[in-house]
């Protein structure tokens, strides 16, 4: 059990996951409620808009004073072990289950400060999934949050869960080849001719008309 715990701690350090309940420290209060606040930014600036939904995916369990998580009933069939909390595969697998089973979560709107908060939460492991992205951006990858988490000295129940979110601008969609852009107003219908012969032909026509008028006058004088 001790080896498994330290292996889990190593995974957390390497992959940057949120801390889970630590070994050999104070006991988390199962009756106490917590909260989660997420701040979405891009290049240091808040990104408002969109929604974030959280799901409780793990309950706190104890084994001789060692605290960890066990999947809740809705997520018990997850193919990835809950011990893989530092892996990106676990939140992705849990998000897939939530979507396929249409599991109810708690949804909040991201406000003008780029923040969304969830309060009155039971202790446990939570999955955060973005349902609707902010305008002009792609969706945030699913991630995990523990309530509370241990900061090295004590348990924190009001969690500031603002990880290094890989927020990317949404790429521009290419033009639909079946819907070509409108032609400019001064473009001729597609008859195989270019614009440049038009003025040449107009001038030539005017010259021919003028020559015809002169010839007719000469012909009258000769009569």
- Domain containing residue 31: 2-160
In-domain check, residue 65: yes
How many domains, in total, are found in the chain?
1
Structure tokens at 151: 């900061």
Average the pLDDT over 138-158 and give the result: 91
In-domain check, residue 57: yes
Average the pLDDT over 20-40 and give the result: 77
Is 90 exceeded by the pLDDT of residue 49? yes
In-domain check, residue 80: yes
User: What is the C-alpha to C-alpha distance for residues 84 and 80, in angstroms, rounded to an integer?
Assistant: 7
pTM exceeds 0.85, yes or no: no
In-domain check, residue 143: yes
Q: Grade residue 7 by pLDDT with cuts at 50, 70 and 90.
A: very low
In-domain check, residue 140: yes
Question: Which region among 24-38, 43-57, 102-116, 172-186 has the lowest average model confidence (pLDDT)?
Answer: 172-186
Residue 148, preceding bond cis, omega within 30 degrees?
yes
- C-beta separation of 87 from 81 below 8 A: no
Query: Nearest CA to 15 among 89, 72, 123, 79?
Result: 89
In-domain check, residue 178: no
Q: How much is the pLDDT for 197? A: 53
Q: What is the CATH number of the domain that holds 96?
A: 2.60.40.10
Q: Grade residue 64 by pLDDT with cuts at 50, 70 and 90.
A: confident
Q: Grade residue 12 by pLDDT with cuts at 50, 70 and 90.
A: very low
């Amino acid at each position: 059990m001790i080896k498994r715990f330290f292996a889990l701690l190593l995974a957390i350090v390497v992959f940057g996951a949120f801390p889970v309940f630590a070994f050999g420290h104070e006991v988390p209060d199962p009756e106490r409620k917590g909260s989660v606040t997420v701040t979405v930014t891009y290049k240091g600036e808040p990104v408002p808009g969109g929604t974030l939904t959280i799901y409780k995916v793990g309950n706190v369990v104890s084994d001789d004073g060692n605290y960890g998580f066990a999947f809740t009933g809705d997520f018990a069939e997850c193919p990835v072990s809950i011990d893989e909390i530092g892996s990106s595969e676990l939140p992705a697998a849990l998000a897939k289950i939530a979507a396929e089973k249409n599991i109810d979560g708690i949804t909040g709107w991201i406000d003008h400060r780029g923040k969304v908060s969830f309060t009155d939460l039971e202790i446990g492991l939570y999955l955060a999934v973005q349902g609707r992205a902010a305008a002009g951006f792609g969706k945030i990858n699913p991630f995990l949050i523990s309530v509370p988490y241990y900061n090295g000295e004590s348990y924190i129940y009001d969690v500031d869960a603002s990880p290094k979110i890989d927020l990317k601008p949404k790429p521009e969609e290419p033009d639909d080849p079946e819907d070509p852009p409108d032609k400019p107003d001064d473009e001729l219908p597609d008859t195989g001719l270019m614009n440049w012969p038009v003025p040449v032909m107009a001038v030539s026509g005017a010259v021919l008309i003028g020559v015809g008028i002169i010839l007719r006058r000469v012909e009258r004088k000769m009569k």
